[in-house]
Amino acid sequence: MFDLILRRATLPDGRSGIDIGIKDGRIAAVEANLAGEAAAEIDATGRLVSPPFVDAHFHMDSTLSYGLPRVNQSGTLLEGIALWGELKPQLVQDAIVERALAYCDWAVGRGLLAIRSHVDICDPRLLATEALLDVKKRVAPYLDLQLVAFPQDGVLRSAGAKELLIRALDMGVDVVGGIPHFERTMADGAASVRLLCEIAAERGLLVDMHCDESDDPLSRHVETLAYETQRLGLHGRVTGSHLTSMHSMDNYYVSKLIPLMAEARLGVIANPLINIVLQGRHDTYPKRRGMTRVPELMAAGLTVAFGHDCVMDPWYPLGSGEMLEVAHMGLHVGQMTGQDGIKAAFDAVTVNPANLLHLDGYGLEPGCNADLVVLQAGNPVEAIRTRAARLFVLRRGRIVSRCEPVQAKLGLPGRPETVDFLLNRG
């Protein structure tokens, strides 16, 4: 006896007519024509059933703070950092919690059930850290929130930042972060990478650094990150986020750099919406796109994910927690418009970030957590194209969000546009 069976699902790998049996919060069976009864059933009618969306790079301490204390008029990264510096002394813990919880509600409704959020630790009060640790506990039944100790003002540049970072880790923050390109010199940037990787190695933690978020082709801290990963044996545990300088680097240098990154098994996170807004601001024409070399990194075997980065904060005035929008922008900027490229973009907001976050029990195999999304689409390509509605969102086998199907004719001719809703079996 199953608790729930999803009937006639199409999976991201193309298998169709698949039934998914759920028992005790986990996937118990994945097969066609699954025998057995269940307390309830959902008939997906051939629609796409996917593991949940995962955002590998976000800033929840600043989300929904747009306009506080004022709007970023230049639209640049540096004005955003300056604005955040003005806002930090005015932050109130309850307000951070309230905004973060509101965003988590948006996320769950969109099938986004795991988020890695950087939290700025360059505040002696560690107010944002305390706030997001509280949020993490509150949302745990619905969403996995992984926190990164992020020295926004530079771990060496900002007085006391190293000690604050250690305190944040002692409080329960999960991942070591950094921002080497914001240190005062290239040498200090390299030293910060070494220091932070050593802290992570000593504590057995993951690393995720804002790295080379610049148009400067000589910002090459990712090379140091790959070296320190090798030196300390952190293979598969270190991620470089943004890496936008790679967009401007000399091709010969990149031909050396990417194999070094692959040897270290670095993870890579691009943030398409924000990268193309913040980068290239000093260009006239032609303007650089500013996103890292996603197709080339994927081709080299690196795990590449897309992150949302910001929603309505000092750096970005838009956003809604919609990871299909992130994938849509990413495949456009990366010119990944072949069928394989579009499917890779879907992976970049599902399985790839789940791997980078080291999520336990993620996937569609028996034994995985029954965290699932039923989308109003027939496959990942259609899901991205139509920003498919999330008809059902399941967390540990329990429906946490549902919506009516969109009636607009978004599918292919002859494809049904509705699903049968939950059938109670007693």
**pLDDT per residue as tens digits for the range 351-360:** 999 999 999 9
Per DSSP, the residues of 339-404 read HHHHHHHHHTTTHHHHHHTT-TT-SSSTTSB--EEEESSSSHHHHHHHT--EEEEEETTEEEEE-P
Q: What is the pLDDT of residue 419?
A: 37
Q: Compute the average pLDDT of residues 13-28.
A: 98
Instruction: Say whether pTM exceeds 0.75.
Output: yes
Determine the longest span between alpha carbons in the chain, in angstroms: 67
Residues with Cβ within 8 Å of residue 70, at least 6 apart in sequence = 83, 86
Provide the pLDDT for residue 26.
98
Q: Which of 143-152, 245-254, 362-371, 417-426 has the lowest average pLDDT?
A: 417-426
- pLDDT by residue (tens digit) across 237-284? 999 999 999 999 999 999 999 999 999 999 999 999 999 999 999 999
Beta bridge partners of 254: none
Query: Where are the alpha helices (H) located in 48-178, listed in sequence order?
Result: 77-87, 93-109, 127-139, 161-171
Give the C-alpha separation, 249 to 218, whole Å: 7
Q: Which of 80-89, 131-140, 214-223, 298-307 has the lowest mean pLDDT?
A: 80-89
Which pLDDT score is estimated for 417?
A: 41
What pLDDT score does 418 carry? 38
State the pLDDT at residue 407: 80
| Residue 289 confidence (pLDDT) | 87
Q: Across residues 123-135, what is the average pLDDT?
A: 97
Terminal Cα-to-Cα distance of the chain (whole angstroms): 12
Give me the DSSP letters along 287-332. Answer: PP-----HHHHHHTT-EEEE--B-SSBTTBS---S-HHHHHHHHHH
pLDDT at 408: 61
410 pLDDT more than 70 = no
Beta bridge partners of 21: 5, 29
Q: What is the mean pLDDT of residues 21-48?
A: 97
43: nearest Cα among 425, 423, 424: 423
What DSSP designation does 10 have? B
Tell me what percent of the chain is helix, strand and coil, each rounded to the nearest 5: 35, 25, 40
pLDDT greater than 70 at residue 308: yes
Proportion of the chain above pLDDT 90, given as a percent: 94
Q: Which position has the token pair 């293979």?
A: 235
At 422, is the pLDDT very low, low, confident or very high (cuts 50, 70, 90)? very low
User: Each residue of 282-306: pLDDT tens digit?
Assistant: 999 999 989 999 999 999 999 999 9
- Residue whose tokens read 């000589």: 218
What is the model's pLDDT at position 425? 35
Residue 421: the pLDDT is 38
Instruction: Give catalytic residues, as residue numbers.
Output: 213
Question: With pLDDT > 70 as the criterion, what percentage of the chain qualifies?
Answer: 96
Report residue 303 as tokens: 């795990």
Say whether pLDDT at 426 is over 90: no
Residue 99 has pLDDT above 60, yes or no: yes
Q: What is the mean pLDDT of residues 121-148?
A: 98
Which tens digits make up the pLDDT trace of 179-201?
999 999 999 999 999 999 999 99
Task: Write the CB contacts of 105 (distance below 8 Å, at least 6 apart in sequence).
Answer: none
